[in-house]
Structure 1
Amino acid sequence: MDWKGYTLIYVVLFAFATAQAVVEFTGLVDSAYWLAFAVIMVLSIIKAVGVAAYYQHLRWEPRAVTYLVLGGTTAALALTAAAAYSIV
């Protein structure tokens, strides 16, 4: 991937981060908390997938490597959720 592609991905990530900040600071969080939470989470997932695919080069790796990373991520999320429930 050339520098134009990386620049485009960077601009998209920057736009999504700006959208997240706009959702946070416009007061949407106070009036419709779960809607704001959902928007921020969806944008965060899109950003994470973009970073993993392009900056960590998973897009061009064999699918087995991508599945290995997804399995590790799923396990980390499951352990985090279990730890969060055990605190309460």
Structure 2
Amino acid sequence: MADVRTYTLIYVVLLVLGTGKFVFFQFPEIFPETVAIGGTIILAVIKSLLIAGFYQHLIDEPRAISYMMAVAVFMVFLLTIAAGYSIQ
């Protein structure tokens, strides 16, 4: 179990990453739209990994549970792709 210092550090990192997403879209002369969208997706993945790892305590779980969660997320991704393909 992590201590308060770890949770505070993760909270600050999440706050900085959230601010980074805001900065991407507030300076279009520095970050074109495609770079802003790509950067936002990357930051969102990092934030979701931090939240799942520390706040949902997946860091302390056995590796088999983490692998099972990764497979489930991958399957949801595949279903989303298939649904998008069938709509076209």
Matched, 1:56 2:56: yes
Unaligned runs of 5+ in 2: none
Secondary structure at the counterpart of residue 61 of structure 1: coil
Provide TM-score, normalisation by structure 1: 0.89
Moved more, 19-28 or 60-69: 19-28
Kindly indicate whether structure 1 or structure 2 has the higher relative contact order, using CA contacts under 8 Å at least 6 residues apart: 2
Following TM superposition, the consecutive aligned residue runs of length 4 or more in structure 1 with deviations greater than 4 angstroms are none
Aligned pairs, number:
87
Counterpart CA distance in 2 for 1:66 and 1:73 is: 11
Unaligned runs of 5+ in 1: none
Mapped contact 1:53–1:59 kept (Cα < 8 A): yes
Counterpart CA distance in 2 for 1:83 and 1:60 is: 34
Percent identity, aligned pairs only, is: 37
Counterpart CA distance in 2 for 1:86 and 1:49 is: 29
Match of 2:47 in 1: 47
Q: Deviation per CA, 1:15-36: give whole Å up to 9, x if none.
A: 101100110222259x722211
Counterpart CA distance in 2 for 1:28 and 1:67 is: 41
The alignment yields a C-alpha RMSD, in angstroms, of 1.6
Compare the two structures and name the one with the higher helix fraction: 1
Match of 1:68 in 2: 68
**1:1-88 residue pairs with structure 2 within 5 A?**
1-27=2-28, 32-88=32-88
